[in-house]
Amino acid sequence: MTALQYSPGATALVESLWTISQVANYLKIPVQTLRTWRKNKTGPAAARIGKHLRYDPGHVRAWVARRAEESADD
């Protein structure tokens, strides 16, 4: 699903940012759910790059981990 990219002169592999469709696929939810969560400020953080939303995979995974911890506390 994700591609690792290497740039000459870079010291580490960098994971590509995810599109909203990739995040929806990862979470197994509809894209519209992500849009609603963004509007309500309850979903994983996204950055607007021009007219496109992009998600840092690490931030998405951390958001999922926090949600899992919150669910375990209930």
In a domain, 37, yes or no: yes
Asked whether residue 50 is assigned to any structural domain, the reply reads: yes
Q: Is residue 9 part of a domain?
A: no
| SS3 state at 4 | strand
Q: What is the pLDDT of residues 4-29, one digit of tens each?
A: 555 555 555 568 999 999 999 999 99
Q: Which helix (H) or strand (E) holds 1?
A: none
- Would you say residue 3 lies in a domain? no
Question: In which domain, by residue range, is 66 found?
Answer: 16-73
For the chain, how many structural domains are there in total?
Answer: 1
Residue 5 within any structural domain of the chain: no
Residue 10: inside a domain: no
48, 16, 42: which is closest to 29 by C-alpha?
A: 42
Q: In the chain, which ranges are continuous DSSP H helix?
A: 20-27, 31-40, 57-73
* CA count, 13 A, side-chain hemisphere, 16: 11
Instruction: Find the CATH number of the domain harbouring 24.
Output: 1.10.1660.10
- Kindly tell me if the per-residue pLDDT of 66 is higher than 80: yes
